[in-house]
């Protein structure tokens, strides 16, 4: 019980700090907010762009066999018939007649008991379609219905041959996309964990059936490496979970889960999708989507797909939870609770601000800005002029800035600045002319 309370308390602290420091807050808050929709403020935007950039670099730019795509949110409605979303994409739901709460049946501990009030007076479970509907064109009738995409991967399947021809790729190769997805989730909850509008980062890898399990294992290992080596997650904060039940076309499927304060939750899915997607789009579009292998006597192959699919918002939430820390060293000396040093220990490659330049006195602002101008071209930098130096360090700690550069009166004479490391708290004098080089080694990954 104590642990649950502690975890709730931690989540509350993170949500409130995220709001106060402009990371994430409710969309349309002045109207009371809209459930399941979240805005990223200035630091949240920087963090999100950095997470996307690192993922893109790791999954696309560094690989010769993965290409990028940026497709539309609205596709031809047939895409969602072919994918099976219009038929089946929904959760079984039940309503509690007592407290009126609505629950996803697969997430209930006991299907006959309301997790909210304990009543067993529940409606029969019924299916709820999660696709968000809109109309395209001037007439709002059934002939003009379209859907906001529920996942970013479907346009990848549809555009497979366009990308292949344009890039002259041969099997095996992948196509990746980062973009918005929309699901009319029944129970948006746990901050951004279950939102109705969210960003996915997906990669679909097209290969021959006989080599698909090797690729599945390859991508599982690559994705785990990304979490441990690039995002800095410790071994015990992540676990993998193989699906017990597989879709009829799949050979394997697993989730990578993170230990959130509210419990283990899915961060990423790695799925063997067989030839299901390509075959279905062939059938519905009446186009032959087979790959012709000219290196193999023109053999026709329906590509098998291995997918890695992760939410940017869940990654960010996991990072906020993983990197939040309270340094008690000062409090232990002074005995004052207000001296707790709250720090987001973000890895430098994704920190919203990588270097903050702090002139010791406002009189030094012009000179300090010259240092900022130099660094801001290459790194996410901030010039922070107001408040005592101690307060500014605290502020930078709270937004997770790994390095603070202090420009003092000596800097005018020796052309050097003091660099303070967020984690070791060590301070080092570095010549301004060497700063760029100094940071290049530290802020990359
Ligand atoms: P869940 O079981 O949590 O509903 P899912 O299995 O339906 O997730 P996928 O369809 O596999 O999720 O989507 C891939 C990834 O997209 C998930 O691992 C998650 O990171 C992200 N994602 C899915 N739904 C949401 C959502 N409602 N809000 C935020 N991120 C989401």
Q: How far is the CA of 346 from the centre of ligand 1 (A)?
A: 23
Q: What is the pLDDT of residue 162?
A: 97
Q: Whose CA is nearest to atom 30 of ligand 1?
A: 311
Q: Of 199-208, 240-249, 353-362, 414-423, where does mean pLDDT reach its minimum? A: 240-249
Ligand 1 centre to CA of 312 (Å) is 10
Burial of 350 (0-12, 13-18, 19+ CB in 10 A): buried
Does the domain made of 2-89+131-320 have the CATH classification 3.30.70.260? no
Verify whether ligand 1 is closer than 6 Å to residue 310 (CB atom).
yes
- Residue whose CA is closest, atom 26 of ligand 1? 194
Work out the pLDDT band at 2, boundaries 50, 70, 90: low
The H helix count followed by the E strand count for the chain is 14, 23
Q: Write the CA distances from 398 to 16, 340, 391, 404, integer angstroms.
A: 12, 11, 11, 13
Pocket test for ligand 1, best of 93, 177, 314, 319 (most atoms within 8 A of CB): 314
Place of tokens 């066999």: 65
The per-residue pLDDT for 1 is: 45
DSSP bridge pairs for 324: 344
- Local structure of 60: helix, strand or coil: helix
Q: List, by residue range, all CATH 3.30.930.10 domains of the chain.
A: 2-89+131-320
Residue pair 186/35 in contact by the 8 Å Cβ criterion: no
Dump pLDDT digits (tens) for 151-176: 999 999 999 999 999 999 999 999 99
Distance (angstroms) between ligand 1 centre and the Cα of 31 equals 27
Distance 59 CA to ligand 1 centre (A): 19
User: Mean of the pLDDT values across residues 77-93?
Assistant: 87
Q: What band does 107 get if pLDDT is binned at 50, 70 and 90? A: confident
pLDDT tens sequence across 14-51: 999 999 999 999 999 999 999 999 999 999 999 999 99
- Give the residue range(s) of CATH 3.40.50.800 domains in the chain: 353-440
Q: Which of the listed residues 177, 266, 268, 316 should we mutate to test ligand 1's pocket, taking the one with most ligand atoms within 8 A of CB? A: 266
CATH number of 353-440: 3.40.50.800
CA of 266 to the centre of ligand 1 (A): 7
| Percent of the chain predicted with pLDDT > 90 | 83
Helices (H), 168-311: 212-225, 276-285
Q: What share of the chain is helix, strand, coil (3-state, %, to 5)?
A: 40, 30, 30
pLDDT average, residue stretch 326-350: 89
Taken in order 159, 165, 168, 169, the sign of the CA dihedral is: positive
Mean pLDDT, the chain, rounded, equals: 94
Report the separation in Å between the CA atom of 197 and the middle of ligand 1, taken as the mean of its atom positions.
Answer: 11
């Amino acid at each position: 019980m104590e642990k649950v309370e502690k975890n709730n308390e931690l989540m509350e602290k993170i949500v409130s700090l995220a709001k106060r420091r402009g990371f994430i807050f409710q969309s349309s808050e002045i109207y009371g907010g809209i459930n399941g929709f979240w805005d990223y403020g200035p630091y949240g935007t920087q963090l999100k762009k950095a997470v996307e950039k690192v993922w893109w670099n790791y999954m696309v730019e560094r690989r010769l066999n993965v290409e990028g795509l940026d497709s539309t949110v609205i596709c031809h409605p047939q895409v969602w018939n072919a994918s099976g979303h219009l038929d089946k994409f929904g959760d079984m739901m039940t309503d509690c007649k007592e407290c009126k709460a609505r629950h996803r049946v697969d997430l209930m501990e006991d299907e006959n008991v309301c997790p909210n009030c304990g009543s067993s007076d529940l409606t029969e479970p019924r299916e709820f379609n999660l696709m968000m509907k809109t109309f395209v064109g001037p007439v709002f009738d059934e002939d003009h219905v379209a859907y906001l995409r529920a996942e970013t991967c479907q346009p990848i399947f549809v555009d497979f041959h366009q990308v292949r021809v344009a890039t002259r790729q041969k099997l095996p190769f992948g196509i990746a996309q980062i973009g918005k997805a929309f699901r009319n989730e029944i129970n948006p909850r746990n901050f951004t964990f279950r939102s109705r509008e969210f960003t996915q980062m997906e990669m679909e890898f097209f290969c021959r059936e006989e080599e698909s399990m090797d690729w599945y294992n390859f991508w599982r290992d690559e994705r785990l490496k990304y979490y441990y080596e690039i995002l800095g997650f410790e071994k015990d904060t992540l676990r993998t979970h193989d699906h017990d039940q597989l879709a009829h076309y799949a050979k394997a499927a697993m989730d990578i889960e993170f230990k959130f304060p509210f419990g283990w939750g899915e961060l990423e899915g790695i799925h063997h999708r067989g030839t299901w997607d390509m075959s279905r789009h062939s059938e519905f579009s009446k186009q032959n989507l087979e790959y012709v292998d000219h290196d193999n006597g023109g053999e026709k192959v329906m590509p098998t797909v291995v997918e890695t699919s992760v939410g940017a918002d869940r990654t960010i939430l996991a990072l906020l939870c993983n990197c939040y820390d309270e340094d008690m060293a000062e409090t232990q000396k002074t005995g004052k609770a207000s001296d707790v040093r709250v720090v987001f220990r973000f890895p430098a490659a994704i920190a919203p601000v990588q270097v903050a330049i702090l002139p010791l006195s406002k009189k030094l602002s012009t000179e300090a800005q010259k240092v900022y101008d130099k660094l801001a071209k290459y790194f996410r930098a901030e010039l922070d002029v107001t408040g005592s130096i101690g307060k500014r360090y605290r502020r930078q700690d709270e937004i997770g800035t790994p390095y603070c550069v202090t420009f003092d009166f000596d800097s005018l004479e020796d052309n050097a600045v003091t660099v303070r490391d967020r984690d070791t708290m060590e301070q080092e004098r570095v010549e301004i002319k060497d700063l760029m080089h100094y940071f290049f080694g530290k802020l990359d990954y």
